[in-house]
Structure 1
Amino acid sequence: MRAGKCVLNNSYYAKIDRTKILVDLPSKRVKIVDFNGISIQNLKRIIHFASKQHLSKIICNCSIESFETFINAGFNLEGKIDGYFKGNDAFCMSYFISCTRKVCSNFPKKDSLVKECLSMKNTYIHRNNSMEYLIRNATKNDIKEMVDLLSTVFLTYPSPIYDEEYLTQTMNEKVLYKVAVHDGKIVSVASADMDEKNLNAEITNCATYPTFRCKGILSNIIHSLEYDLKIKGFLTLYSLSRSINPSINFALSKHNYNFAGRLVNNCNICGAFEDMNLWVKNIYN
Structure 2
Amino acid sequence: MRTVNSPFDTVIKLKKSVIQHGPSSNRIYLMKLHPEDYPDIIPELTGMAETHKYGKIFAKVPSHALDGFLKEGFEKEAVVPGYYAGEDDAMFLGKYLRAERRIVADDVRSMMEQVIALAGEKSTDQPSETTTPPFSIRRLERDDVDALTRLYGSVFASYPFPIFEREYILHTMEEDSIVYYGAFAENRRLVAASSAELNKVGLNAEMTDFATHPDARGHNIALHLLLLMEQDMRERGLHVLYTIARAISTGMNVTFAKAGYEYTGTLVNNTNISGQIENMNVWFKTLK
TM-score between the two structures when normalised by the length of structure 1: 0.92
1:171–1:124: structure 2 CA closer, same or farther, 3 Å change rule? farther
The C-alpha deviation readout for 1:33-64, integer Å capped at 9, x for no partner, is: 22424445531222011111122211121112
* Counterpart Cα distance in 1 of 2:34 and 2:118: 36
Match of 1:220? 224
Q: CA deviation at 1:124?
A: 3.4
> Hey, what does 1:149 align to over in structure 2?
151
* Distance across 2 between alignment mates of 1:131 and 1:115: 30
Find the partner of 1:230 among 217, 230, 234. Answer: 234
Corresponding residue of 1:250: 254
Name structure 1 gaps, 5 residues minimum.
1-6
8 Å contact from structure 1 (residues 180, 189) kept in 2: yes
Q: Which residue of 1 aligns with 2:115?
A: 113
Matched letter for residue 254 of structure 2: F
Partner of 1:3: none
Q: Secondary structure at the match of 1:77?
A: strand
Determine whether 1:199 maps to 2:203.
yes
Contact 1:14 1:23 in 2 (8 A): no
Structure 2 matches for 1:11-160, cutoff 5 A?
11-16=10-15, 18-32=16-30, 33-87=32-86, 88-105=88-105, 106-129=108-131, 131-160=133-162
Deviations 1:196-253 (A, max 9, x none): 0101100101000112111011110100000000111111100111111111111110
- Quote how far apart the aligned CAs of 1:125 are: 2.3
* Structure 1 residue 152: Cα displacement: 0.9
Cα pair 1:38 1:66 within 8 Å, conserved: no
Mapped to 1, the partners of 2:89 and 2:129 lie a distance apart of 33
Q: Distance in 2 between matches of 1:175 and 1:21?
A: 18
Report the CA distance shift for 1:142/1:56 in structure 2 as closer, same or farther (over 3 A): same
Alpha-carbon distance in 1 for matches of 2:18, 2:131:
45
Cα 1:19–1:132 change in 2 (3 A) is closer
Task: Answer whether contact 1:29 1:57 (CA < 8 A) is retained.
Answer: yes
User: Which whole-Å CA distance do the structure 2 matches of 1:223 and 1:181 have between them?
Assistant: 16
Give the aligned residue type for 2:85.
K
Bigger shift: 36-45 or 133-142? 36-45
Whether the aligned pair in 1 keeps the contact of 2:9 and 2:160 (CA below 8 Å) is no
Distance 1:36 1:127 in 2: 41
What CA distance in whole angstroms lies between the structure 2 residues aligned with 1:65 and 1:281? 21
CA contact (8 A) 2:29 2:57 kept: yes
Moved more, 75-84 or 49-58: 49-58
Structure 2 distance, partners of 1:131, 1:79, is 37
Aligned to 1:176: 179
The one-letter amino acid of 1:267's match is T
Within 5 Å, which residues of 2 pair with 1:162-173? 162-173=164-175
Cα offsets for 1:75-130 (capped at 9, x unmatched)? 00000101111112111011111111111232122112101111111423225337
- Change beyond 3 A, Cα 1:109–1:171: same
Q: Which runs of 5+ in 2 are unaligned?
A: 1-5
Secondary structure, counterpart of 1:203 in structure 2:
strand
TM-score scaled by length of structure 2: 0.91
- Preserved CA contact (<8 Å) 2:11 2:18: no
- Partner Cα separation in structure 1 for residue 7 and residue 126 of structure 2: 35
Distance 1:255 1:72, change over 3 A: same
CA contact (8 A) 2:152 2:163 kept: yes
C-alpha distance in 1 between matches for 2:199 and 2:160: 18
Identity of aligned residues (%): 25
- When structure 1 is superposed on structure 2, of 114-123 and 33-42 the one drifting more is 33-42
Aligned residue type for 2:232: D
The more displaced of 115-124 and 265-274 is 115-124
How many residue pairs are counted as aligned between the two chains? 277
